[in-house]
């Protein structure tokens, strides 16, 4: 059924279809409408779940961690400083291998206070053992939430579904609302290997030594390093499982594609713009304009940021003259994190082959600075003409 | 108080294996062992980093026979909320959820989450075992370290501030049950747990825990020192049910005897109070006497 709704409602509807049993949330703009809608669903009885209005984001994730450890499918959502306040907890969730799904409605972080959109919040949580998937429209938001539960529970790794604050969260678009029956076919009930239970007592997340240790039965148990290695291994494994999720999803829902990247006019392109989230759709307008000028340019959205689909990306960007990375976040003291990751992936697969493109990094839309399509087009065109700047170039800076 | 358990009527079944990693003479080992007997088998525990994390052992060995979720320092009570919510969706509300945190994990870093859970009225029992400092990290001061105590980060002058009254803070949340207990009176603890199990919402227990390395006394004197704290009227055993406070066990007896052991005996038994002057002790004695005169008046 096609409906017209905002991005936060798309997320909430997707969550309801996945039948979570425990939801905990603390309000922060622009996330609030997601959790408000979920509280409405619970109170009106269209979602059978416990909704916990916690006193902080740290506690929101604590509730998710504990409820998931006790065997429930859980959900929370946050933005900006709320996500930063969870930092300790989200690392705990990853280490404890809990398949939590959380929407991150991307917003700039303080200081100074700023409630508008960029992606510094989720990008700053890149290295913690969560899968990060970025959405570019409302259909992707609702579909990604559903796929995220399947994947998280398959590999026991938590997932952030990231979408741009306001640009997606508060704008209205038509999208297909999946049927409950379809979702139930796609997503079986959550059955964890172990859930806290007095009949089968276990001490979870206890102090674990640097080296392996023998248990009471004489069997060798993992040390901390083995447990952390397996987190890395299974997060990488999620790349394969994501393809499986996409295949099943396409069979049941009749739509899908490449789960990792979203290329637009890239096949014959000499230059490819790359980004995360809604900006990649705005860049399509720039690409169309430049194509009319005869410049062979395309744009590629990166959907999976962690695990990073390095091989797929290298394959897609092989033999391009330049890759132009537009980012709404950066690793302060260096450059955009996506630009660095792209360089790393391209070097790994293409160094010495003669197929290695140069990379230009643009920083754009920080703290909600208006991103004018004309500016993007100009920057994209400039990158096809001039030498690459070793430092990231800030678009629209008024200094 | 409905029942008075004695050492012979205490259940034989143990939920803590012998040979835990607690320090010798640890007051927590007593309170935890007896506390779990009262909670019984159908219990899920939540423990933040603290001495109890050490007591429970290193992976893959555990000294506790009940399921336990280890959580981050500040999140104990919120984690309890999560387990309660999950059990509710599974129709397993007969399972007791019990959190055990230290005084730092309760009075300091965990207070926000505890207040949040109490305000929501989440149905669980929260135990603060109060050894009056960050003993697991080498005896630094906490919000509940008493005035005058030397700690690793109040090394020469002792703590200059008063002890935070956490049970009073929790009582201000209008809880169905608040209790102050001591490891030196484990049967009082046992009875209080049993008496509150059926009560709704959040139940709060504060347990005074003598700590040989943190307080500075020979390991064999833990019970004696714990009792001195109560018999001197310095630390009181009580319960608050529906807003009404009632002294229990040895504190209740003190109401009858009306004779407090001089608090000097409690202070002089521990090296952490060695810098307290006679004048300071006399001053604290005055405060204790005044507090007890208030108790006597209430009865009259």
What ranges do the domains of chain A cover? 2-186, 261-394
The confidence score (pLDDT) of residue B4 equals 85
**Is a pLDDT exceeding 70 seen at residue B2?**
no
A237 pLDDT tier (thresholds 50, 70, 90): very high
Q: Across residues A182-199, what is the average pLDDT?
A: 98
| Residue B33 φ then ψ, to 5° | -60, -50
Residues A266, A127, A62, CA angle at the centre, nearest 5°?
Answer: 120
| Residue A101 φ then ψ, to 5° | -110, 130
What is chain B's mean pLDDT, rounded? 96
Residues A2-186, CATH architecture: 3-Layer(aba) Sandwich (3.40)
**Is a pLDDT exceeding 70 seen at residue B133?**
yes
Q: Across residues A88-112, what is the average pLDDT?
A: 98
**Is a pLDDT exceeding 70 seen at residue B163?**
yes
The confidence score (pLDDT) of residue A215 equals 92
**CATH 3.40.50.2300 applies to domain A261-394:** no
Distances (CA, A) of B69 to A95, A167, B118, B177: 13, 40, 20, 24
Helix B27-39 crosses helix B222-231 at what angle (to 10 degrees)? 80
The confidence score (pLDDT) of residue B299 equals 82
| Residue B113 φ then ψ, to 5° | -65, -40
The confidence score (pLDDT) of residue B19 equals 87
Cβ-defined contact of A213 to B87 (cutoff 8 Å): no
Q: Across residues B256-263, what is the average pLDDT?
A: 96
Residues A46, A49, A55, CA angle at the centre, nearest 5°?
Answer: 120
pTM: 0.97
**Is a pLDDT exceeding 90 seen at residue A204?**
yes
DSSP code at position B223: H
B243 pLDDT tier (thresholds 50, 70, 90): confident
- What's the full length of chain A, in residues? 399
Nearest Cα to Cα of residue B264 among B230, B236, B228? B228
Nearest by CB to A207, which of B44, B53, B74? B53
CB B71 within 8 A of CB A206: no
Cβ-defined contact of A54 to B78 (cutoff 8 Å): yes
Cα–Cα distance for residue pair B299/A309, rounded to 1 Å: 74
Cα–Cα distance for residue pair A282/A301, rounded to 1 Å: 11
Helices (H) and strands (E) in chain B, counts: 11, 8
Please list, residue by residue across A85-110, b when 16 or more beta carbons sit within 10 angstroms of its beta carbon and e when fewer do.
bbeebbbbbbbbbbbbbbbbbbbbbe
A interface test, pick of B13, B52, B85 with most A CB neighbours within 10 Å: B85
Query: Nearest CA of chain B to the CA of A69: how many Å?
Result: 8
Q: Within 10 A of A310 (CB to CB), how many other CB atoms are there? A: 18
Q: Which residue of B has its CA nearest to A208?
A: B59
Cα–Cα distance for residue pair A262/A264, rounded to 1 Å: 7
- The upper half-sphere exposure of residue B178, i.e. CA atoms within 13 Å in the direction of its Cβ, equals 19
Nearest Cα to Cα of residue B159 among B280, B59, B294? B280
DSSP SS3 for A233: helix
Q: Across residues A166-177, what is the average pLDDT?
A: 98
Query: Nearest CA of chain B to the CA of A211: how many Å?
Result: 11
Cα–Cα distance for residue pair B165/B183, rounded to 1 Å: 18
A201 pLDDT tier (thresholds 50, 70, 90): very high
Domains of chain B, CATH where assigned? 27-299 (3.40.50.970)
| Residue B296 φ then ψ, to 5° | -60, -45
Cα–Cα distance for residue pair B287/B285, rounded to 1 Å: 5
Distances (CA, A) of B219 to A194, A359, B24, B152: 40, 67, 6, 20
Residue B18 burial (10 A CB sphere; 0-12, 13-18, 19+): exposed
The reply to whether domains A2-186 and A261-394 share a CATH topology is yes
CB B133 within 8 A of CB B161: no
Query: Nearest CA of chain B to the CA of A108: how many Å?
Result: 25
Cβ-defined contact of A203 to B74 (cutoff 8 Å): no
The confidence score (pLDDT) of residue B3 equals 65
Cβ-defined contact of A70 to B78 (cutoff 8 Å): no
Q: Across residues A228-244, what is the average pLDDT?
A: 98
Nearest by CB to A198, which of B58, B62, B67? B67
The confidence score (pLDDT) of residue B84 equals 98
Cα–Cα distance for residue pair B170/B244, rounded to 1 Å: 13
The confidence score (pLDDT) of residue A386 equals 86
Q: Which residue of A has its CA nearest to B46?
A: A66
Alpha carbon dihedral B88, B90, B94, B98, in 10-degree steps, equals -60
Query: Nearest CA of chain A to the CA of B89: how many Å?
Result: 7
Q: Within 10 A of B187 (CB to CB), how many other CB atoms are there? A: 16
Q: Within 10 A of A385 (CB to CB), how many other CB atoms are there? A: 9
B111 pLDDT tier (thresholds 50, 70, 90): very high
Q: Kindly give, in sequence order, each residue whose CB lies less than 8 Å from that of residue A394, ignoring residues fewer than 6 positions away.
A: A362, A363, A364, A366
B125 pLDDT tier (thresholds 50, 70, 90): very high
Q: Across residues A123-132, what is the average pLDDT?
A: 98
**Is a pLDDT exceeding 60 seen at residue A264?**
yes
Cβ-defined contact of B58 to A53 (cutoff 8 Å): no
Q: Across residues A100-116, what is the average pLDDT?
A: 98
DSSP SS3 for A3: strand
Q: Using one digit for the tens of pLDDT, what is the confidence trace for B42-63?
A: 999 999 999 999 999 999 999 9
Question: Which residues from chain A sit within 8 angstroms of residue B60, using beta carbons?
Answer: 213, 215-216, 221
Q: Using one digit for the tens of pLDDT, what is the confidence trace for B195-220?
A: 999 999 999 999 999 999 999 999 99
**Is a pLDDT exceeding 60 seen at residue B96?**
yes
The confidence score (pLDDT) of residue B246 equals 96
Question: Which residues from chain B sit within 8 angstroms of residue A218, using beta carbons?
Answer: none
The confidence score (pLDDT) of residue B212 equals 98
CB B280 within 8 A of CB B221: no
Q: Kindly give, in sequence order, each residue whose CB lies less than 8 Å from that of residue B69, ignoring residues fewer than 6 positions away.
A: A66, A69, A70, A196, A204, A205, B44, B45, B46, B47, B79, B83
The confidence score (pLDDT) of residue B124 equals 98
Task: Compute CA A257 distance to the chain's CA centroid, rounded to the nearest angstrom.
Answer: 17
CB contact, 8 Å: B67 with chain A?
A: yes
Cα–Cα distance for residue pair B73/B59, rounded to 1 Å: 19
Which stretches of chain B are DSSP H helices? 27-39, 51-55, 76-89, 103, 111-120, 166-171, 186-196, 222-231, 249-257, 263-268, 278-299
A interface test, pick of B60, B61, B121 with most A CB neighbours within 10 Å: B60
Cβ-defined contact of A67 to B83 (cutoff 8 Å): yes
Q: Across residues A94-99, what is the average pLDDT?
A: 98
DSSP code at position B177: E
């Amino acid at each position: 059924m096609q409906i017209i709704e905002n991005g936060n409602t798309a997320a909430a509807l997707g969550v309801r279809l996945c039948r979570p049993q425990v939801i905990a949330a603390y309000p922060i703009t622009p996330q609030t409408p997601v959790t408000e809608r979920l509280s409405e669903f619970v109170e009106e009885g269209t979602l059978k779940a416990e909704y916990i209005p916690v006193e902080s984001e740290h506690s929101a994730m604590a509730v998710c961690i504990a409820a998931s450890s006790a065997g429930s499918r859980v959900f929370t959502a946050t933005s900006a400083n709320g996500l930063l306040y969870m930092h300790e907890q989200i690392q705990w969730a990853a280490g404890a291998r809990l398949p939590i799904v959380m929407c991150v409605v991307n917003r700039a972080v303080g200081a100074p206070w700023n409630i508008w959109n960029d992606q510094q919040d989720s990008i700053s949580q890149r290295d913690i053992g969560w899968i990060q998937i970025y959405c570019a429209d409302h259909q992707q938001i609702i579909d990604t939430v559903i796929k995220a539960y399947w994947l998280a529970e398959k590999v026991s790794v938590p997932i952030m579904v990231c979408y741009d604050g306001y640009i997606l969260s508060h704008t209205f678009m038509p999208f297909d609302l999946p049927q409950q029956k379809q979702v139930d076919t796609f997503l079986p009930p959550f059955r964890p290997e172990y859930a806290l239970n007095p009949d089968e007592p276990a001490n979870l997340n206890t102090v674990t030594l640097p080296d392996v240790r023998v248990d009471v039965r004489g069997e060798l148990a993992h040390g901390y390093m083995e447990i952390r290695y397996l987190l890395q291994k299974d997060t990488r494994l999620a790349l394969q499982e994501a393809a499986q999720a996409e295949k099943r999803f396409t069979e049941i829902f009749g739509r899908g594609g490449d789960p990792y990247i979203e290329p637009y006019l890239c096949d014959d392109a000499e230059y490819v713009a790359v980004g995360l989230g809604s900006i990649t759709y705005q860049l399509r307008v720039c690409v169309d304009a430049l194509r009319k000028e005869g410049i062979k340019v395309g744009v590629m959205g990166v959907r999976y940021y962690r695990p990073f689909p390095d091989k797929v990306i290298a394959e897609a960007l092989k033999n391009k003259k330049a890759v132009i990375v537009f980012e709404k976040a950066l690793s302060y003291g260096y450059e955009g994190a996506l630009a660095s990751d792209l360089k790393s992936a391209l070097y790994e697969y293409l160094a010495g082959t003669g197929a290695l493109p140069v990379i230009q990094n643009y920083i754009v839309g920080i703290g909600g600075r208006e991103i004018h399509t004309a500016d993007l087009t100009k920057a994209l065109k400039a990158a096809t003409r001039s030498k690459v700047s070793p430092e990231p170039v800030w678009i629209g800076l008024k200094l | 108080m409905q029942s008075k358990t004695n050492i012979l009527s205490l259940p034989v079944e143990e939920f803590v294996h012998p040979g835990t990693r607690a320090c010798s003479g640890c007051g927590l080992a007593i309170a935890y062992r007896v506390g779990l007997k009262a909670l019984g088998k159908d219990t899920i525990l939540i423990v933040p980093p603290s001495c109890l994390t050490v007591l429970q052992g290193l992976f893959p060995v555990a000294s506790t026979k009940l399921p336990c979720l280890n959580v981050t320092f500040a999140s104990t009570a919120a984690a309890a909320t999560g387990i309660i919510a999950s059990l509710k969706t599974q129709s397993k509300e007969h399972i007791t959820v019990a959190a055990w945190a230290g005084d730092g994990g309760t009075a300091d870093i965990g207070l926000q989450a505890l207040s949040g859970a109490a305000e929501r009225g989440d149905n669980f029992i929260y135990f603060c075992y109060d050894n009056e400092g960050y003993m697991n990290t080498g005896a630094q001061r906490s919000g509940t370290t008493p005035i005058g105590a030397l700690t690793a980060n109040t090394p020469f002058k002792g703590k200059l501030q008063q002890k935070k009254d956490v049970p009073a803070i929790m009582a201000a949340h209008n809880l169905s049950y608040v209790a102050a207990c001591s490891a030196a009176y484990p049967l009082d603890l046992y009875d209080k747990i049993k008496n509150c199990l059926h009560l709704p919402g959040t139940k709060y227990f504060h347990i005074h825990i003598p700590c040989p390395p943190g307080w500075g006394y020979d390991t064999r004197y833990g019970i004696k020192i714990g009792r001195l704290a109560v018999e001197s009227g310095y630390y009181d055993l009580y319960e608050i049910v529906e807003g009404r406070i009632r002294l229990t066990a040895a504190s209740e007896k003190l109401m009858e005897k009306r004779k407090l052991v001089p608090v000097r005996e409690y202070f002089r038994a521990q090296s952490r109070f060695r810098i307290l002057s006679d004048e300071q002790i006399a001053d604290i004695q005055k405060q204790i006497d005044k507090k007890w005169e208030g108790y006597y008046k209430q009865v009259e």
